[in-house]
Amino acid sequence: MEISRSLSCGLDYSFLSQFCDAVLPRGKGWTLPPKMECLKLNTYPGLVSLDSWKYGGSKLKLHLKFRIPSPNLYQPQALAIRCNFPQNADLPRYYSKGEKDLPHTHCGSEASSQGGLKNKKSQPKRPVPPPKIGLLVKSLIPVAYDVLNARVTLINNLKKLLKVVPVHACKWCNEIHVGPHGHVFKSCRGQRASNHKRFHEWTNAVIEDILVPVEAYHLFDRFGKYIPHEESFSIPRIPAVVELCIQAGVDLPEFPTKRRRKAIIRIGKNEFIDADESELPDPGPEAPKVPILTEIPNAGIVHPSNAEETALLAEETLQAWEKMRRGAKKLMKMYRVRVCRYCLEVYVGPSASGHKAHSCGGHKHRQGNEQHQWQAAMLDDVIPPRYVWHVPDVDGPQLRSFYGQAPAVVEICVQGGAASQTSMVRPLQC
């Protein structure tokens, strides 16, 4: 687009800027401002090679060219559609057996990391947390007892609720469903899924289908020698939540552990010695400990007799589930828990490298000798929630549409008569 205008040598170029703003509006599609080619006046007319130069005249005719960027230069960005309704959020991807999602780690720039390091050096050193020097956090000992008792209460109540709330488990895969009838979704991922067109074959579920057993090695000494592969078969394995409670201060006679009264003395990066405790006075009488509940055997389970008892039992179960998860989250902030990034192995202990047992069977694991690759564990790694499809109407027809998902414990309690809470429900998928 060319615009020609007869201009005097003393032309004020503010007129051009106003003219461009009026004729060429600037929008979001513009990536570059219009380029204007200005011609410089030459004081030597004989050396000028422009056709627009008029000899002996007082005016100069300039051809001003405005270059407008082509629309092809505009590269539209990806349009992100956000929805403020949590029930429309997508569910995370399904991972096959032995394969798990890797948590996203935030890696800042080099400048920001150097700046953070300088600021950290300028600040005074923080006191070392007691678990890192072999001591207990006194304020978390009651929390550990509450978590252990909440776990026992949850197991006992679920055994009773399974007598009145039907729960189905697939024969070929690990999917479960809470409701009077199993759903008809073609989502079976078992070995013989193609033979029955990916339909599920439902059977009665047990407590292990709802509360996934996650075990860890029991450590007699948290700061003892790491567990080699040759000795891993002789060390007892217990539920990871129980091991976390033991290291946090719970005393179980069947699982003894070493307690220290003075902090350890480090003589190297990975070497330490125990402090001399002979000078300390004898410990006084211990305060009465919190009684530890025991699990009821299957033969002694008595199911609720009416709907009112079922609703009260469901409310108690829901509170025990939330109390166990909330307390375990507090303990994990002080006591280190590691998980393998390729499999579901959990290690509870101060060592960042975990144990050395060669037992990793992760999906597409390329590390030699089946060694684990440890990283920081999340709450769902220690207490994994089994998500099931929500049934909006228990007395209605068989579930044929997706109405969102919730943890199996929450869905059982809701169908038993408990009032669900928003913090326990996963974002739904419509």
**How far apart, in Å, are the Cα atoms of 209 and each of 159, 162, 301, 316?**
12, 12, 18, 20
Q: 160, 302 in Cβ contact below 8 A? A: yes
35 burial via Cβ count (<10 Å: 0-12, 13-18, 19+) = exposed
DSSP string, 116-168: HHHHHHHSPPPPPPGGGGT---GGGHHHHHHHHHHHHHHHHHHHHHTTTS-EE
Coil vs helix vs strand at 89: coil
Coil vs helix vs strand at 273: strand
Q: 238, 218 in Cβ contact below 8 A? A: yes
pLDDT tens, the chain, 430 aa long: 444 444 444 444 454 455 455 445 554 444 444 444 444 444 444 444 444 444 444 444 444 444 555 555 445 544 444 555 555 455 555 555 444 544 434 444 444 545 566 676 677 777 888 888 888 999 999 999 999 999 999 999 999 999 999 999 998 888 999 988 888 888 888 887 778 788 888 999 999 999 999 999 999 988 888 888 888 888 999 999 999 999 999 999 999 999 988 888 888 777 778 888 888 887 777 777 788 999 999 888 888 889 999 999 999 999 999 999 999 999 999 999 999 988 889 999 988 888 888 888 776 665 567 788 899 999 999 999 989 988 877 777 677 766 678 899 999 999 998 886 545 555 444 3
CA nearest neighbour of 147 among 329, 286, 301: 329
- The model's pTM is 0.69
